[in-house]
Chains A and B, each alone.
Chain A
Amino acid sequence: MIVVVTGASGFLGRAVAAELVAAGHEVRTLQRRPSQVPGATDVLGSVTDASLVARALDGAEGVVHLAAKVSLTGDPADFRRVNVDGTRTMLDAAERAGVSRFVQVSSPSVAHAGAALAGVGAEPASPEHARGGYARTKAEAELLALSRGSASMRVVAVRPHLVWGPGDPQLTERIIGRARRGTLPLLDGGTALVDSTYVDNAASGIVAALGRADAVHGNAYVITNGEPRAVGDLMAGICLAAGVRPPRFSVPAGLAKAAGSAIERAWAIRPGQDEPPMTRFLAEQLSTAHWFDQRETRRDLDWAPSVSIDEGLRRLAAHYRSAGG
């Protein structure tokens, strides 16, 4: 099967492309920077470029659409252009190219209105209630993708949650970097229970969804390791793997949320190099439970994670040791 993977220069996209190559598929990747995935053919450019997209999808049977603007803050128009318009461009081209399977990679935040989630399934995406520009536009994109499914093009949405692992510049490196600088707090003691996903599991889950697209057409699935951990535990595990002292100070979540809002507004006016140190969205993510019922996901996708959190942390530690970090 010829499969096009978008966003394959990203941490998860690269893993998905590699997994597909290993499974014997002919893989084309579409993103602005080289994917560096051995065995895959890069098409460089943006998913908002219709003619480029049409070229990349020519003759393809499957699409895994990961490319998105992932950020905690930013101009709403930027999010919309990449996340919503880019998805629409992909869907249009896929239909025209006769693609039969389309996996929309989404996020559990599309159905998270901020309250604690404990053992819930994949609720419908809700652009009205999702928090932050990223989640809102991803919610819109997911609804759009699922609405475009048909007998000839099967669409399924998968929502990996808090993906981490060696080489992850988003969550993993940020946690480590801030812990190293001593600016990583625990919110309310870091006891909120959260699901997370080791990168290999996220990749294999997405590939499983592509394989099962006929059977699971029209559905959305949350993908996690199925091992909820207290957020402080998870952060400590990641820090220890990198040889960094885990966070020990705790700040009240309410204060962090308020501060996050203020910082978010300041950042909008005078953006810095990095992401802002705290946003309201992040404060909520780190201080309320969000873990999921994985029974349906595992049954429907006929998939189970192969790397446990503890094994993932061992691999992370090995990565940092070999990197000399």
Chain B
Amino acid sequence: MTAPAAPAALPPTGLPGLDPAWSRLVAVPGAGADAGLTRTWHVLDTGAELERLGATPAGTILAVHGNPTWSYLWRSMLAASVAAAAAGEPAWRVIAVDQLEMGYSERTGRHRPLAQRVADLSGLTDALGIEGAVVTLGHDWGGVVSLGWAVDHPQLLAGVALLNTAIHHPDGVPVPAPLRLAGARGVLAASTVATTAFLDTTLALASPPLPAEVKDAYRAPYGSADRRGGIGGFVADIPADASHESRPELDRIAAGVAGLEVPALMLWGPKDPIFSDRYLDDLVDRLPHADVHRFEGANHLIAEERPYAEAILQWLDTTPSARRVGAEGAVSRREGQVSIRRPAGDYSTNGVVVDDHSTNGAEAFRPLWTGLDARATDDDVAVIDMATKRGPARRVTWRQLHDRVLDLAAGLAELGVQRGDRVSLLVKPGPTLTAVIYACLRIGAVVVVADAGLGVKGLTRAVRGAWPDVIIGERLGLTAARALGWPGMRISAERLPYAAKAALDVSHSLGQVAALGAAIRSSGEAPPPEPGPADEAAILFTSGSTGPAKGVVYRHGQLSALRDVLARHLEITPETGLVTGFAPFALLGPALGTRSATPDMDVSAPRTLTATAVAAAVRESDAGIVFLSPAAVLNVVATADALGADERAALARVHTFLSTGAPIGEALLASAAEVMPNATPHTPYGMTECLLVTDVTLEGIRAAASAPDAGVCVGRPIGDNRVLVSALDADGRATGAPSAEPGVLGEIVIAAGHLKDHYDRLWLTDRMAARETEALVDADAPRWHRTGDLGHLDAEGRVWIEGRTQHVIVAADGPIAPVGPEQDAESVDGVRRAGVVGVGPHGLRQAVAVVETIPPVARPGLAEPELAAAVRERSRVPLAAVLAVPQLPTDIRHNSKIDRSRLSDWAERVLAGEKPSAP
């Protein structure tokens, strides 16, 4: 598709965000089919501006736009380049091109297939005489062209950065619908060239929507059909099938990309209807060392939606420029830098590159399945599932479990599941899940575990974000996978009727997988290779109570460390026996080499667990240790009256009881202790990123009650865990160097051998979570994590939690943590529960107490004057108002956690004078 030739020109002045000083026209000797001709490009270039500011460029960012945009897309990257130079910081020269036929570059009147475009770009950089480190940056189809240039210029290439693009499209999978439509004969010319439909559609793919003047700037070079020929040409050049003329070039680039060893960054908008997570996953497979950040909620025009330029500069700052990745994939990094995703087998942590099989003095790596292997021929019971709707409890012996795991492992391997492949598990806890998890771990497949508590929307987001290669699920999960278009080969946990299997697009059942594996094993074929400590093992999802759920990546070494810390801390032996009413720990029984029982409960609704069910599980497994979630504890206490003498006797054998998931208060823990009279009650503190940080017993809580400290005492660090506090500054930010000084309010910062490795595809979040912890890194604490929890240490080394960092109230006198004042309010008679939030501008916020009363008030409003006076009297901080509400808002996952963000927004409105509605 071609349009009449037209010369290049400079853009009009006054386009928002575009400095005319950046624009230049460059005459370039034609390449490929244009040999002998001269083509004129319009490029944006900060080179002259940097020189004027006296800055020596650290290198060059070569930015290539896609279709149907132009170099205007990159204006904030150019602005950031100049701003860095002006501030005397290391500055990268940015060259953003208008591809030929596009933007303000020449309309050549020729069709330009992909190979020609790659040659065109090489011609331009030759003409510009670019030297030194070059980092390519591409978006949309510009990503492909930029990667083509990258593959062809290994001597200049220092890195590749990509925003929503694609390098490969699998045969047999239809191209995304919007492009299919645009590419259809007839529609193509009409939608892309004759009208502005394609342009308009693309410009609408930004959330939030673009301002009108920015849209106009994007449209500026494409005012007439003659100017839009290149847009149609680009769409026509999409190699939708193997016979397309550009397919060989695309395949060449795709293969070349897989050989790139330079640092790579991918910034992605997952809402993109065209360059979806499918293509991100493909790129991650090709560039496994890439740093990836998915901006939840962002769409195709990510350069307009998110601060991508800051992200790229931050990445360049922390990623050695022009430094080559070694042949083994070991990135030599500046001292103390945060770890990045690495190819499996390289166990580098925070800049320390260590061997696969030693962890700098830590004990030797014992895989998670060692405990299982040790009892491979043991016919005692390993796993008991009491949650069978009909019939008796299901018992699986050690021998059976071990065999099942090996069968499934061999079967999955036979189906092509390999080390590093992701397997999403939508199976409820029980022997089946246990067997599948250990099978996956044995072959190095990464298990993706998202809690049904995230809800369908959250679960979909989590599964799509992790982009599993395989989904193993029960009918409900598979139905959702089918209906919501979750990726991955589907394996059913149960045998399905043929029709259902077809309808759900299920390829196998687990029974078939196991049978396949058994056959292979009996044939004497060698088992698949086992992963090492540095291989990724699991991705667990956070609760999502503070923004979208994040995938937390654990490596095998870290999961083994979790097993070991748990075993040591609770002195677990093969004879101990566990009852596990809290999912993450339910899976550790076989690893710990002791039997475990899941009580009869709906695991997605822990508050359905009864005392009778716990007693039955204890009796069945002769368990000495019981794990329960806080919600389960509440119901167990509430249903304790139903216990008979036998059941009470069984519960009296329990010697250790843990409420895991969130710390619970003394009263509830004491009530639970009455149900298990000989057990020491514990309520450890942890999070998805580090399941066990500190621990405190009921006795410890009682001892802490007389301390004057604000907050919830969660005890002392477990084992070798380290806990420090990064002090809040007057502005309420945790900027203090992490320290163990008692009494300092700040963000809790932790290190542990079983701490997560990183967040999945959230490079920026990862960076933030390890912000300014470099100085703390040593052999025993290679990774540190900022928890986002607010609190302090006391002189006895106990940790006190006082809220979340984002809930800090920055008043004129300094920051206020909410939990202490909430405890003050809750100590007043007639107050059931309190939330303390701030209203007004940052730095001048006023603390406000919002209380639930006994009995509850009928309508939200000011508390009765007497109650307000009593709350004020007890409060350690001045309160601008005391409001009473029928019910405080709580987050969905933890019914007990007050949603302070929502409460704060509500209080802001009400105290501005709006009529009080329900918060």
| Chain B residues within 8 Å of chain A by Cβ, number | 25
**Per-residue A-contact encoding for B840-863, CB less than 8 Å = 1, 0 else:** 110011100000000000000110
B912 contacts A227, CB within 8 Å? no
Say how far B821's CB is from chain A's closest CB, in angstroms: 16
> Given A229-B881, A295-B812, is A289 in contact with B911 using a C-beta cutoff of 8 Å?
yes
**Between A and B, how many residue pairs show CB distances below 8 Å?**
89
Interface check B287, CB cutoff 8 A: no
Least CB separation from A295: chain B residue: B812
Contact assessment for B913 and A288 in the assembled complex, using a CB-CB cutoff below 8 Å: yes
Q: Which residue of B lies closest to A189 (CB)?
A: B861
Are B912 and A116 neighbours in the complex by a CB distance under 8 Å? yes
B862:A189 contact, CB within 8 angstroms: yes
The interface residues of chain B lying within 8 Å CB-to-CB of A193 are 839-840, 846, 880-881, 911-912
Interface contact B841-A119, CB-CB below 8 Å:
yes
Most buried by B among A119, A190, A237, A252: A119
- CB of A227 within 8 A of CB of B878, answer yes
Residues of A within 8 A of B227 (CB): none
Contact A289 B912 (CB under 8 A): yes
Q: Is B480 an interface residue (CB 8 A)?
A: no
Q: Which residues of A contact B911 (CB under 8 A)?
A: 118, 191-193, 230, 289
Closest beta carbon of chain A to B844's beta carbon, Å:
4
Q: Give complex CA distance A287, B846 in Å.
A: 18
**Interface contact B861-A191, CB-CB below 8 Å:** yes
Instruction: Quote the shortest CB–CB distance from B548 to chain A (angstroms).
Output: 30
Cβ-based interface call for B728 (8 A): no
Q: In the complex, what residues of A have CB within 8 A of residue B916's CB?
A: 188-189, 191
Residues of A within 8 A of B880 (CB): 193, 227-230
* A188 B915 Cβ-Cβ under 8 A: yes
Q: Is the CB of B883 within 8 A of A191?
A: yes
Question: Residue-by-residue, is A213-239 near B (CB-CB < 8 Å gives 1, otherwise 0)?
Answer: 000000000000011111011001100
A58 at the interface (CB under 8 A from B): no
Q: How far is the CA of A226 from the CA of B878 in the complex (A)?
A: 11
B8 part of interface (Cβ distance < 8 Å):
no
Contact residue among A236, A246, A287 (Cβ-Cβ distance under 8 Å from B913): A287
- A304: min CB distance to chain B, Å: 12
Tell which of B844, B882, B908 has the most Cβ of chain A within 10 Å.
B844
A119 cross-chain contacts in B, Cβ below 8 A: 840-841, 844-846
- Contact mask for chain A residues 279-294; partner B; CB cutoff 8 A; 1 contact, 0 none: 0000000011101011
- Contact check: which of A188, A228, A236 meets B914 at CB < 8 Å? A188
| A253 lies within 8 A of chain B by Cβ | yes
Which partner residue on chain B sits nearest A118 by CB separation?
B840
* Closest B residue, CB atoms, query A245: B865
A310 within 8 Å of B by Cβ?
Answer: yes
Complex interface: chain B residues within 8 A of A233 (CB): 862, 865, 868, 881-882
Please tell me if B872 contacts chain A, counting CB pairs below 8 Å. yes
Cα–Cα distance between A229 and B880 once the two chains are bound (Å): 5
Given contacts A188-B916, A191-B881, A193-B880, whether A295 and B862 have CB atoms under 8 Å apart is no
B447 to chain A, nearest CB (A): 49
In the complex, what distance in Å separates the CA atom of A250 from the CA atom of B913?
13
* Least distance between B869 CB and chain A CB atoms (Å): 8
Residues of B with C-beta under 8 A to A21: none
Query: Is A240 in contact with chain B by the CB < 8 A criterion?
Result: yes
**Further contacts, 18 of them, CB under 8 A, given A116-B912, A118-B911, A246-B865:** A116-B913, A118-B908, A188-B916, A189-B910, A191-B881, A192-B913, A193-B839, A193-B840, A193-B911, A193-B912, A227-B880, A229-B880, A229-B881, A233-B862, A233-B865, A253-B913, A293-B841, A295-B844
Instruction: Identify 25 residue pairs between A and B in the complex whose beta-carbon atoms are under 8 Å apart, listed by A's number.
Output: A116-B912, A118-B911, A119-B844, A188-B915, A189-B861, A189-B910, A190-B861, A191-B861, A191-B911, A192-B912, A192-B913, A193-B840, A226-B812, A227-B878, A230-B883, A233-B862, A233-B865, A233-B868, A233-B881, A237-B865, A246-B865, A288-B912, A291-B846, A295-B812, A295-B844
